[in-house]
Amino acid sequence: MNKTPLLDLKAQYKGIQEEVKEAVLGVLESGRYILGPQVQALEEEVAAFSGARFGIGVANGTDALVLALDAAGVGPGDEVLTTPFTFFATAESISRLGAVPVFVDIDPKTYNLDTYQLEKKRTEKTKAIIPVHIFGQPANMDEITAFAKTHGLFVLEDAAQAIGAEYKGRRVGSLGDAATFSFFPTKNLGGYGDGGMVVTDDEELAARIRSLRVHGSDPKSKYLNRLIGYNSRLDELQAAALRVKLQYLEEWNEARRNHARLYDRLLAEVPVVTPFSSEDVNPIYHLYIIQAEEKEGLMTYLRERGIAVNAYYPVPLHLQEVYRELGFREGDLPVAEAVSKRSFALPLYPEMKEETIHFIADTVNTFYQ
Ligand SMILES: *Cc1c(COP(=O)(O)O)cnc(C)c1O
């Protein structure tokens, strides 16, 4: 039986290969391979796309988080409020700087930070907050920025899964003090290798991140150092390919939305929870996540019929072994834990055929008959 993958990057490449080859060959011939004109152009384009003034290309989405937090002055002893229902890198970036991730439970519908729980978790040491627009669904940014403003907190949007998603008519990336994107190949805007970016309106913050990515060097000379930095730069090859793909991003995101709507419709009669949508947001469905009480049985049933599925996220971060010392126990963040037990992704990618979605939905429906 033909396998139905979660995502088909080869199919995407087929549609754009001539343009990508030309862009990549242009870089090979140019003699500029790191932080050159392609990176600069991509920084401007991604900043403009997300409604921010500055873009700073870095080596990956994890470094984007680390450098942005570092530039904002987050360090040892500080606490950063964030969600336990995300990819590990979100919390890892906080810990990497010697700060402490403070996990706040999630909203059962959006799977994003439950803003009503923020105040309970805030202390004198709270310095920043990282909302994650999980699976491409924007977090409740009005509540988050109002809370942050009251308490003088730095807001960093982890938009690794959400480039192009809209909150109240504005794209993510311009809703906090800074935002980060990942260009990991499977992301909605993915390169042919690693890459990431920070976007911000704050000129000073942008300058610090620009310095941090090249060892904390002075903008005027590579050999004058002002900060202890990193080597975290974006390659010209990735930037050139990403510039080609950025032109298709809206079209691809729209195709994902259409596929998601079809799934929603076809799965309306069975006891699975389909992704939440509201008037306020226009998500990009980085993943199409459903919740099912019978998760294990349903995942096995689908896999046996050639349909790739994957659990996101099976272990919420507050219960990860590495965070044992934070002292969480099962039951402490009940919503994140309940969602983790039931949620998994069905295949969704722009090039997908409608008949494939029908086949997958039919298979889910048959499982429940
Ligand atoms: C992918 C991802 C990251 C990390 O990005 P990399 O480019 O893989 O380092 C961070 N946060 C979230 C929510 C992600 O999905």
Q: What is the Cα 317 distance to its own chain's centre? A: 16
Instruction: Give 276's DSSP letter.
Output: P
Own/partner contacts of 98-105, CB < 8 Å, gap of 24 or more, are 99/69, 99/74, 99/75, 99/127, 100/125, 100/326, 101/317, 101/323, 101/326, 102/126, 103/316, 103/317, 103/318, 103/326, 103/328, 103/333, 103/336, 104/333, 105/333, 105/334, 105/335, 105/336
Q: Identify whether the C-beta of residue 167 lies closer than 8 Å to the C-beta of residue 175.
A: yes
Rounded Cα distance between 332 and 233, Å, is: 39
**Whether residue 97 has its Cβ less than 6 Å from ligand 1:** no
Complete domains list, the chain, with CATH: 9-246 (3.40.640.10), 249-368 (3.90.1150.10)
Q: What residues in the chain have per-residue pLDDT under 50?
A: none
Q: Is the pTM of this model over 0.85?
A: yes
Distance 362 CA to ligand 1 centre (A): 32
**pLDDT score, position 87:** 98
Question: Which of 82, 83, 161 has most ligand 1 atoms within 8 Å of its beta carbon, as the pocket-test mutant?
Answer: 161
Whether omega before 111 lies within 30 degrees of 0, making that bond cis, reads no
Rounded Cα distance between 182 and 302, Å, is: 29
**pLDDT score, position 226:** 84
**Whether residue 82 has its Cβ less than 6 Å from ligand 1:** no
Residues 6+ apart with CB under 8 A from 256: 136, 188, 284, 285, 348, 349, 350
Ligand 1 atom at shortest distance from the alpha carbon of 195: 7
**Whether residue 346 has its Cβ less than 6 Å from ligand 1:** no
Query: pLDDT (tens digit, 9 = 90+) per residue, 39-77?
Result: 999 999 999 999 999 999 999 999 999 999 999 999 999
Residue 329 identity: R
Residue 228 has a CB neighbour count (10 Å cut-off) of 9
Distance 363 CA to ligand 1 centre (A): 31
Query: pLDDT (tens digit, 9 = 90+) per residue, 299-334?
Result: 999 999 999 999 999 999 999 999 999 999 999 999
Of 174, 176, 177, 172, which Cα lies nearest the Cα of 161? Answer: 172
Ligand 1 atom at shortest distance from the alpha carbon of 184: 7
**pLDDT score, position 247:** 98
Helix (H) or strand (E) holding 198: strand 196-200
Rounded Cα distance between 200 and 209, Å, is: 10
**Whether residue 157 has its Cβ less than 6 Å from ligand 1:** no
Helix (H) or strand (E) holding 120: helix 118-121
| Widest CA span in the chain | 69
Question: Which of 58, 62, 172 has most ligand 1 atoms within 8 Å of its beta carbon, as the pocket-test mutant?
Answer: 62
**pLDDT score, position 2:** 60
**Whether residue 291 has its Cβ less than 6 Å from ligand 1:** no
Ligand 1 atom at shortest distance from the alpha carbon of 286: 15
